[in-house]
Amino acid sequence: MRALLEGLFTVLKHLFMRPVTLEYPEKKRFQSDAFRGKPSVKIGENGCVGCGVCKKVCPSGAINYEKDENGKVISYTFDLNKCIFCGNCMYYCPHSAITLGQNFELGTADKSELKLTYKGGSEND
């Protein structure tokens, strides 16, 4: 009888407590500004100059870019199949051209969608 009452008390107590879960995806958790999600890069004026630092510090070889005949970066790709969101590329870029944003909802059934290509500031052109 005592165990039954204890169980009932526990149920009643939790009826009036705030839930510990969220109605995801309608509601989302607060994320710190330091969160490292989907990477992006700025190309063009005041953006990437193609120095190669990000490629050198990327531990998983997730970065590739192409330059034109004048040495200007024309396209830049993050391969999210490889990226571990360490943030090295963002921290070491001498031109602050890379940002790891707040978006973490990157799941897809199509692996090709995990290659994020930026051309002049746009994605997957």
Binding site for ligand SF4 (CB under 6 A): 39, 41, 48-54, 57-60, 62-63, 78, 83-89, 93, 95, 97-98
Rounded CA-CA distance 98/36 in Å is 11
Q: Which residue number, 7 or 61, has a Cβ lying nearer to ligand SF4?
A: 61
The distance of closest approach from Cβ of residue 120 to ligand SF4 in the complex, given in angstroms and rounded to an integer, is 14
The distance of closest approach from Cβ of residue 90 to ligand SF4 in the complex, given in angstroms and rounded to an integer, is 7
DSSP structure string for 24-86: TTTS-----TT---SEEE-BSTTSB----HHHHH-TT--EEEEE-TTS-EEEEEEETTT----
The distance of closest approach from Cβ of residue 19 to ligand SF4 in the complex, given in angstroms and rounded to an integer, is 33
